[in-house]
Amino acid sequence: MSLKEKLREILSFVVRKREDMLLCKDLTVVSGLKSSGRLEVVPMHVGHLKELVEFIQEHHRETARSLRMLDDCFRNRYEGRVALLNGSIIGYRWWVTSAIPHPQLKLYGVSLLDDEVYAFGLYIARAFRAQGYAGEFLALTQKQLVDMGFKRLYNAVATSNVPSRRLYQTFGSKELGLRVSRSFFSTITFCDGRWLRYNPVWM
Ligand SMILES: CC(C)(COP(=O)(O)OP(=O)(O)OC[C@H]1O[C@@H](n2cnc3c(N)ncnc32)[C@H](O)[C@@H]1OP(=O)(O)O)[C@@H](O)C(=O)NCCC(=O)NCCS
């Protein structure tokens, strides 16, 4: 490897350019996503903690960062849902309401109204992907959010995340705009003239 290539590699480790798309879904409009009836979506609670830690250790590549995120979510009282298949966790997702601040809201310039939520951290274990479970998870969560009185759901997706963008397109989310940011050591982000502590696993 030439010196120039080595320098470029080091620089790309320190500074990463991120392109995220902010999406919005009108929850009153039913999505075309189907439910197999096999998946169960239940509120996340401390009783899930042990199984979630084991799930992350088994299924996540960036285990330490994902465990930190889990800790952050419980500590900040973010609302979570787990996807259960035959009683075992195969995925999860988090959200915040207007009552709870989240660093990504600043990053994407979202100010939530009382009937809006911002969701993040959607994850389906690799072994269960491309079988429609994420779509089913979104459809079941949408029903729960509507029953709770919410009308609009925001989330962000990296423009490079093709499966996720397809998923949200089918779900009926509309693309609101692109945010380009620069992330230093993957955790400190510079966007729109501001510095923010930001964990990219929170997408
Ligand atoms: C994104 C993710 C949740 C999708 O889960 P999934 O259960 O595989 O999704 P589904 O099976 O419901 O499929 C959703 C769409 O993605 C497409 N898809 C699934 N895997 C794909 C792949 N490897 N490449 C391209 N498209 C893919 C499906 O075809 C489907 O699109 P379609 O309805 O047009 O056919 C999952 O890949 C994941 O957890 N990834 C890691 C974390 C992540 O990226 N989270 C999203 C952050 S915004």
Kindly report, residue by residue over 32-61, the tens digit of the pLDDT.
777 788 899 999 999 999 999 999 999 998
User: Alpha-carbon distance 107 to 101, whole Å?
Assistant: 12
User: Which range among 16-20, 69-73, 81-85, 122-126 shows the weakest confidence by mean pLDDT?
Assistant: 16-20
Instruction: Tell me the CA–centroid distance for residue 127 and ligand 1, in Å.
Output: 12
Atom 26 of ligand 1: nearest residue by CA position: 163
Predicted confidence (pLDDT) per residue in 171-192, tens digit: 999 999 877 777 766 666 666 6
Buried-state track 176-185, b at ≥16 Cβ within 10 A, e below 16: eeebebebee
What does the mean pLDDT of the chain come to? 88
**What DSSP element (H or E) covers 91?**
strand 88-96
State the distance from the centre of ligand 1 to the C-alpha of 164, rounded, in angstroms.
Answer: 5
Pocket-testing residue among 41, 107, 108, 129, ligand 1, by greatest number of atoms within 8 A of Cβ: 129
**With 90 as the cut, is the pLDDT of residue 202 above it?**
no
Question: Whose structure tokens read 């982000």?
Answer: 189
Name the band, by pLDDT with cuts 50, 70 and 90, for residue 193.
low
Top pLDDT among 112 and 35 is at 112
Band of residue 109 on the pLDDT scale cut at 50, 70, 90: confident
Instruction: State mean pLDDT over 27-35.
Output: 85
Ligand 1 in reach of 117 Cβ (< 6 A): no
Ligand 1 contacts CB of residue 134 (under 6 A): yes
> In the chain, pLDDT over 90 holds for what percent of residues?
61
| Domain 17-202: assigned CATH number | 3.40.630.30
Strand, coil or helix: 45: coil
What percentage of the chain has pLDDT greater than the value 70? 90
Selection from 122, 79, 80 nearest residue 97 by Cα:
79
Judge whether residue 200 has pLDDT over 60: no
